[in-house]
Structure 1
């Protein structure tokens, strides 16, 4: 007789964490061939899909602190992949733009990354992917809501 799957919250967390680690490691490996680190890839990718953005807008989109985003943009600028230009309406703000080379690098890197990610989850049929996405969104929203309550002085109960 087959035993029931362990559905304790701690076991769910452990399975989720192990899956995340495996996917994260594979995702990083898929972008390393172009000598891009994770944060550089994320900055270039957001600029590719969102267009030029102020430095302080990029940080939250790619989950980097203000100090880390400045270092990342400096590094990308040194490599000739992005430029910073003063905002026309507020010279205190600098807008980050992809250079022609930066656009070429991120398009190539993103296409490769997309193929690699597709290969990674190829064992999941479309319906299972949709279910997984829905469940992860539900979990994320639920946990985020509880954390927000906790920050307001309420307990996680």
Structure 2
């Protein structure tokens, strides 16, 4: 019986994840962004300047792909590279003024979409969900 519940939990989690990803993808695509681009912008918006490695770790995109995403966002004028004065091997990525203005405009709307996705569960249930998912995620 326990195995059946584990399998059912897995299936429900995967279906929920897919539904959430599709909803977020629809919201982000309205801003002419790909999910990977938005996640990089969001990481910089919420945490400030980051190294490529820090961004890669935060958004779970491998280092080869992250460079491509950063290049695209730099071409759009939304972020820029800055050399580290203390260590020339390190390059920081940060939002440009345009990037910050863009995120100031779209992030509150995106946050409302996320709030709507989770509107059917209470704050206590959200805390429980976070704790449970963290425990499941630690298993390797």
Q: TM-score, with normalisation over the residues of structure 1?
A: 0.82
* Pairwise CA distance, 1:37: 0.8
Q: What's the C-alpha RMSD, in Å, of the aligned pairs?
A: 1.5
1:27 to 18, 24, 29: 24
Residues in 2 aligned to 1:49 and 1:88: alpha-carbon distance in whole angstroms: 23
Partner of 2:95: 98
* Pairwise CA distance, 1:7: 5.1
* Pairwise CA distance, 1:29: 1.3
Which structure is larger by alpha-carbon Rg, 1 or 2?
1
Number of aligned residues:
138
Which ranges of structure 2 fall in alignment gaps of 5 or more residues? Answer: none
Asked whether 1:85 is paired with 2:88, we answer no
Whether contact under 8 Å (1:83, 1:98) holds in the other structure is yes
* Pairwise CA distance, 1:116: 0.5
Whether contact under 8 Å (1:43, 1:62) holds in the other structure is yes
Question: Structure 1: which 4+ aligned runs deviate by more than 4 Å?
Answer: none
Aligned to 2:110, the other structure's residue is in SS state helix
Which ranges of structure 1 fall in alignment gaps of 5 or more residues? Answer: 1-5, 148-157
Partner of 1:44: 41
Partner of 1:62: 59
